[in-house]
Amino acid sequence: MTQAIGVAPLRIADPEVVTSSMFRILGRRSRWVYPDPRLTPEHCETLNNVNISEAGIAQARFGTVKYSDTQLAAGEIATGLFTATFASGTTHNIVTTADKFYTDDGSTRTDKTGSAFTGTNEQRFQFGFIKDKVIINNKKDMARYFDGSANTADLTDTRSGFDIPFTKAEGFFTHKNLLIFYGTTEGGVYKPTRLRWCDIDRETFEININTWQSTNRYEVYDGGPKIIGAVDAWGYALIFKADGLYPGQIEYSELGFLDFRLHEQGVQRGFSPISTLGILARPEFVVCVAKEGIVVFDKSLNFRIVNNDDLKFWLALNKGRYGSMQCWVREKDHQVRFLCSSADNSTGHDRILVWDWETDDVWTDIPVKTLNYGASVQVDDEELDWLAGNDGFLYQGNKSTYITDDDTGYTWRIKMAPNDLGLPNKHKKVLNITTFYRKRVGDQNVTFSAHLDEGRIPRGASGSVVTGVTQSWNTDATWNAAGSVWPGHESRRADFFINRICETIAPEWSSSDPASIYGYQVEYIPLEN
């Protein structure tokens, strides 16, 4: 046999088959390419419609069902969702539209608007709770309150001869039990850097949201970028302007007045906040939607961009709709979820960016319904997602029995990062890839693909595997055959024989069935060039 000059044949370095450790499934990193160390074999290039549980199982996300069979009035879309429990013990689930305010328990929807609002479907409501009242604001009308029984009413100064010093505001927050508005309009003039806060009732010496002094104001760098949003956290009033974070505090002056003091040394720049409803505070962190990505602060006010390794997805979104992004917390799954829009979407939102604050994983849900607002709601003492569809219906989600989006199926997809099996730039003969999965009800048909050398090798391997409960150990199946049980565990295995030579391999699974994947393992023979 004649060998081509200068071409060394591949030969077996060690005839023994090597079995790798099991590679788990972590969050998505789409910015980097092999062999960048930030893209580990356990990270994903694509992770859609999948939830990573506390046990580290990547499972098809749970779906949604209608919260109520009653659609909103013709042309109405929910622009806000909120739940409040009043001192009386009564809990109200609140729904707002562009012009209406409702209480809604899932069976009865009651109009508590009073005079109509004048906003649009894109002017989403902000909510807060103080002094046993729900505060609501849509940037268009005067802020209002709901006391749990009567119709909504405008905030006013109840003192004789006094008026509240603004007619509308960009937003509000609470700090030291004070109600504080920012970006106020006063006498028809927009004040983009102004703070306004309520006062103390001079008769009762209690904070009174219906008492407003004209002197209770502060300019956060007058003439500079506008205030985007603000939250109370760790004793600070954290003011997010378009060029960064400005922390401060309300303090009592020597004369007994309420003054705002800016902490100049704590000012943080280097990012650009953009969404009023994309800012929230928790005891562990504060999160903010910025042009650069999802910015998270710790108690020392240090910040980082948690999706910095997923910029491919971030930059592919509709950048003109960053400002309309809105987020909420899914407590039981330790997630912050952000409604956002794909490049072609201009109404509502068609993507949900997910950040898990315990694992730091990031991925995306692709809902079947276009959504306008997201929140949490308690249904039968269970925390569920509460979602406003652009079709005028409300939905509840994230329950194990929900396997479709309102009877419409969806496809989940996991594509792993390239894996060199610890032998960079070395060829391997990959014999078999084993998928470890968790037992679910029924069988799940899963499409499996093995991408070789980052897709450069056209003859990759693809086919289908069946996960489910019909196979069991030593029953109509032999060890190392598809569906065999991993002894002593609920986990099971499905094998896919590859028999290909490559440097890297990247498994992919996708299905519309509700499968649960632990990870994968590779059997291979090391080769030499």
- Structural domains of the chain sorted by starting position, each given as residue range(s) with its CATH number in brackets: 11-49+413-528 (2.60.120)
Please answer whether residues 123 and 138 qualify as being in contact, where contact means their C-beta atoms are separated by less than 8 angstroms: yes
Which residues neighbour 281 within 8 Å (Cβ) at sequence distance 6 or greater?
231, 232, 233, 238, 287
pTM of the model: 0.91
Per residue of the chain (529 residues), what is the pLDDT tens digit? 444 444 445 555 446 899 999 999 999 998 777 778 788 999 999 999 999 988 889 999 999 999 999 999 988 999 999 999 999 999 999 999 999 999 999 999 999 999 999 999 999 999 999 999 999 999 999 999 999 999 999 999 998 889 999 999 999 999 999 999 999 999 999 999 999 999 987 777 788 999 999 999 999 999 899 999 999 999 999 999 999 999 999 997 766 678 999 999 999 999 999 999 999 999 999 999 999 999 999 999 999 999 999 988 999 999 999 999 999 999 999 999 999 999 999 999 999 999 999 999 999 999 999 999 999 999 988 999 999 999 999 999 999 999 999 999 999 999 999 999 999 989 999 999 999 988 777 788 999 999 999 877 765 677 777 777 544 444 444 444 444 443 444 558 888 998 999 999 999 999 999 999 999 999 999 997 6
Q: How far is CA 188 from CA 125, 126, 210, 215, 226, in A?
A: 22, 22, 21, 18, 17
According to DSSP, the residues that pair with 526 across neighbouring strands are 428
Q: What is the DSSP letter of 313?
A: H
Neighbours of 256 (CB within 10 A): 8
Token pair of 432 as six digits: 């078999």
CA distance 281 to 81: 18
Please answer whether residues 44 and 419 qualify as being in contact, where contact means their C-beta atoms are separated by less than 8 angstroms: no
Residue whose C-alpha is closest to residue 416's, from 162, 50, 18, 124: 50
